Amino acid sequence: MTNTAIPGAPGETLESPATAKAMAGGIKLRRYGSWYVAEHRLRSMRSYLQTMIATGIGTPVLYLYAMGVGLATLVDADQGQGLDKVSYLIFVAPALICSAALTIATEEFSYPIMLGFKWNPTFFGMNAAGLQGGQIINGVTYSVIIRLVVQSSVYYLFMLLFHAIPSPLGWLSIFVAVLTGTAIGTLLMAYATRLEEDKGQFNYIMRFGIIPLTLFSGTFFPLAALPTWLHWIGWISPLWHGTELARVFAFNYPEPIWLTVIHVLYLIVLTWVGWWLARRLAIRRLNK
């Protein structure tokens, strides 16, 4: 067999150990590149690990205690049997876990994306090392999903401690919370991918987008309690769809099966659209 020289690699042939190692490395990079990015993001999260632990434990304790011991006492006394024939704590707990996942997703899919493209352009370094834009976006998304699963699981454990989950299927609310977070988070990631300058856009999104969604998505009170002309906000809100779906699993919330299917499909479609769009925009930006 005749050894064939590799263009750009003087003295190396297809049979040389260096070439074989490089080819194996390229195959490995194509196969596991997204997970390399996810590992990098998870390692970088260690810089604010203490904050993650504090909020991961403090948030469910404070909110569940406030709702279960404070506000629930007043609401249940006024409502008799409570909302939807359950206590207020049981009614609001699925909304709280979805809201917490939404908050985490907005944190991880906003400024860290801007950081990777502009302030500390690690994404360009990854791309120069052979990683594709789609792999980078996939890796970031995988890392956020892992964080969402872990912290939603912790939240769910505290919900059990507060006796806020009477249904044996309540554990599915963990995955509903994750899907709720990614439904909005991936769209935000796509938006962050195309930003060239930070002019306070994320602050506006939080102030005029995320916070109003929390108030008008049937979280702390049923959507029916709002004026009819405001119901459309809930219908288009991923948080409303996630909250309603989590309640179905948490305490057998009564709703038609077709509406449950719509909740699932709506959250999946939004996640897919945001993910797909972020990949396309990242590839375009990294290959300018």
Determine the average pLDDT of the residues in 51-72: 82
Report the Cα–Cα distance between both ends of the chain, in Å, rounded: 42
How confident is the model at residue 20, as a pLDDT?
46
State yes or no: pLDDT of 238 exceeds 60: yes
How confident is the model at residue 93, as a pLDDT?
93
Q: Closest by alpha carbon to 233, among 211, 252, 255, 248? A: 211
Residues 6+ apart with CB under 8 A from 172: 246, 249
Q: Closest by alpha carbon to 188, among 199, 202, 200? A: 202
How confident is the model at residue 4, as a pLDDT?
46
State yes or no: pLDDT of 70 exceeds 80: no
Determine the average pLDDT of the residues in 187-202: 91
Determine the average pLDDT of the residues in 79-101: 79
Q: CA 128 to CA 146: how far, in whole Å?
A: 26
Q: What is the pTM of this model?
A: 0.86
Which of 65-74, 162-171, 245-254 is predicted with the least confidence, judged by mean pLDDT?
Answer: 65-74
pLDDT level of residue 138 (50, 70, 90 thresholds): very high
How confident is the model at residue 49, as a pLDDT?
87
Q: CA 17 to CA 161: how far, in whole Å?
A: 58
pLDDT level of residue 74 (50, 70, 90 thresholds): low
The more confident residue out of 287 and 274 is 274
6 forms beta bridges with 9
How confident is the model at residue 136, as a pLDDT?
96
How confident is the model at residue 200, as a pLDDT?
86
At which residue do the structure tokens 């196969």 appear?
Answer: 31
Q: Is residue 190 within 8 Å of 278, Cβ to Cβ?
A: yes
| Interval 1-54: pLDDT, tens | 444 444 444 555 545 554 544 444 556 666 788 999 999 999 998 888 888 888
Mean per-residue pLDDT of the chain = 86
Paired tokens of 159: 């919900």
Our measurement of the distance from residue 276's CA atom to the centroid of its chain's CA atoms, rounded to an integer in Å, reads 15
How confident is the model at residue 230, as a pLDDT?
84
Determine the average pLDDT of the residues in 281-285: 95
Determine the average pLDDT of the residues in 257-286: 96
| Interval 151-177: pLDDT, tens | 999 999 999 999 999 999 999 999 999
